[in-house]
Structure 1
Amino acid sequence: MDSLEERVSVFYHENSDESDNNPSDYEFNVDDDDSDAKPQRILYWESQQALLQEILERSSLTGSKLRREVCEITEKVREQQADFCQCRKPNVDACNSCLRHGVVNLLCDQGFKATLCTSKWSESKKIPGGTHEYIEVMVIGSRTKQISYVVELEFRDQFEIVKACNEYRNLVKMLPKTFVGKPDYLNAIVRVVCDAAKQSMKESRIHMGPWRKRRFMLMKWSASVERLASVESSSTPNRYDLQSSLSSKRAYASSYRHFSASPAVVVT
């Protein structure tokens, strides 16, 4: 099984439930006296690292121009934060929002079709409600087909856990500080890292909050996913379990708002 899709399916069941009563095949307890569990633990974390590395490498093969532009623009806005900040508040989240506004403005000035999106979802029995703001850029790919790219400026920060094992921390360090990629690759990354977070907390005997689970994490970028699904409803399902994640999102209210936009440009 050489394809990435097949390798992902080996680790995770297609229709698995994320509840605590249905652990994945790779979950286990590691006790000091359990010598059989230690090789399994090593194999698990090595496999997670290899799988994440492959996903990141494949994701980096597309959108290189956009990724380079976003990183350069982000650094420029950070250096001139005082000029771009509209809230004038010492709150980090508020200034991060101003940062995203500034990045969207400069992307549009460069000819990109950039949008400031806000995902909103209602509270349920399994996950709390919330909102999340990020950037979406529409580009023209092969055969003049528009392709959606998710831009998350604080991507690595989304997965930081204070009381995590060293293996999980090393996994998070592999993530880019700023993510620029297609929603299906984003879904695959979130799936791998959230499973690793669950295992790390299980090893430390710490309860995993619902805001750490994959279902909640994917809701953060659901505005882009829902929009992509509506555009490509007649095409085949996206890879990396993107379609199955949509089924859980339809139960929640998800919306996006335009900040500014310009005609899409070709990005390679």
Structure 2
Amino acid sequence: MMFATSSSSDEFQSNEMELDLDEDDDESVGSVVENKSFWDNQHQILQTNLYRTGSLESRLRNATKEAVRDIQQNTKMVCSCSTQITVRSTCRNCLLLQVSRRLQNAGYNSAICKTKWKTSPTIPSGEHTFLDVIDRTNKKQDVRVIIELNFRAEFEMAKASEEYNGLVRKLPEVYVGKVERLSNIIKVLCMGAKRCMKENKMHLGPWRKHKYMEAKWLGPCKRDTSTTFLSIGYSEVMMPKPKAKASLLTVDLLEKLPNMHCTAVEVL
């Protein structure tokens, strides 16, 4: 199933500046006062979009965190590569599948989404996998909520400035929010990354650009609602029950009294 994203709505605060975040320019980074004003503004916009959430997002956030916590605490749950399933596990597919399954059991229309994009003049090709939930209780239109289990790490940069790292530290590890909210958060972080690289007189990698980051979650995607474990080789560790052993005394009695019907029992 292909799913296209919608545009931003008025309920989310965004940057008022209409600009191409990926366009390279030779402008200076401005004075100290201008830089401070820029970072203060980015922090304010980010905080507004992170904390003003609706009831649907709050319920889904709690359900997602509970699912992740249960998976982490289940030490008998492993994937086909024998890796314990955690948020930072290398086997991301197993974790996504388990969380999606738990959300479906809770009554949500959850699916594993995969975006894939081709190389363009400004960004390289790539693909990304995450979760979403489609809520159809709204009579006007469907509401799509994006779930990213490793959100903060997607924006971390080596040799970043303290101002940019301050933005990243505000991000939750597990993001659960509407498409419009995510779009504004991406814009804030990408503007911050661009300013950070300019201040450090460094080149901004194409995988850090606004178009690339948007393509990860907001591009056309395929939704897979299947929760079949065998599709990714999922298994649970099951220990066989030990067999009861007959004692030497029991064996001796059976040999001397062959006509008696005796039941061998284990002597502790």
For the superposition of Structure 1 and Structure 2, which TM-score range results when normalised by the shorter chain? 0.7 to 0.9
Pair 1:161 & 2:157 matched = yes
**How high is the TM-score relative to the length of structure 2?**
0.73
Contact kept in structure 2, 1:77 and 1:84, CA below 8 Å = no
Deviation at 1:41, TM superposition (A): 1.2
Q: Which residue of structure 2 aligns with residue 19 of structure 1?
A: 23
Aligned counterpart in structure 2 of residue 83 of structure 1, from 77, 91, 96: 77
Shift of 1:214: 0.9
| Counterparts of residues 70-219 of structure 1 (less than 5 Å) | 70-80=64-74, 82-88=76-82, 94-143=90-139, 145-219=141-215
Residue 226 of structure 2 is matched in structure 1 by: 259
Q: What are the superposed Cα offsets for residues 89-128 of structure 1, whole Å, 9 maximum, x if unpaired?
A: 5896642221111111111122211100111111112111
Counterpart residue type for residue 75 of structure 1: R
Match of 1:40 among 34, 39, 48: 34
Instruction: Kindly state the Cα deviation for residue 8 of structure 1 after the two structures are TM-superposed.
Output: 2.7
* Corresponding pairs, count: 217
Q: TM-score scaled to structure 1, two decimals?
A: 0.73
Query: Which stretches in structure 2 are left out of the alignment for 5+ residues?
Result: 1-9, 229-268
Give the match's secondary structure for 2:224.
coil
Instruction: State the superposition RMSD in angstroms.
Output: 2.6
C-alpha change, 1:67 and 1:188, in structure 2 (3 Å) is: same
Partner of 2:43: 49
Distance in structure 2 (CA, Å) of the matches to 1:166 and 1:193: 13
Amino acid at match of 2:33: P
* Sequence identity percentage: 29
Deviations 1:186-232 (A, max 9, x none): 00000001100111111111110010011000111135xx4xxxxxx
Residues 87 and 94 in structure 1, CA contact (< 8 A), matched pair in contact too: no
> Which amino acid in 1 is paired with 2:24?
D
Does residue 29 of structure 2 align to residue 28 of structure 1? Answer: yes
Stretches of structure 1 lacking an aligned partner (at least 5 in a row): 30-36, 227-253, 262-268
CA contact 1:119–1:256 (8 Å) conserved in 2: no
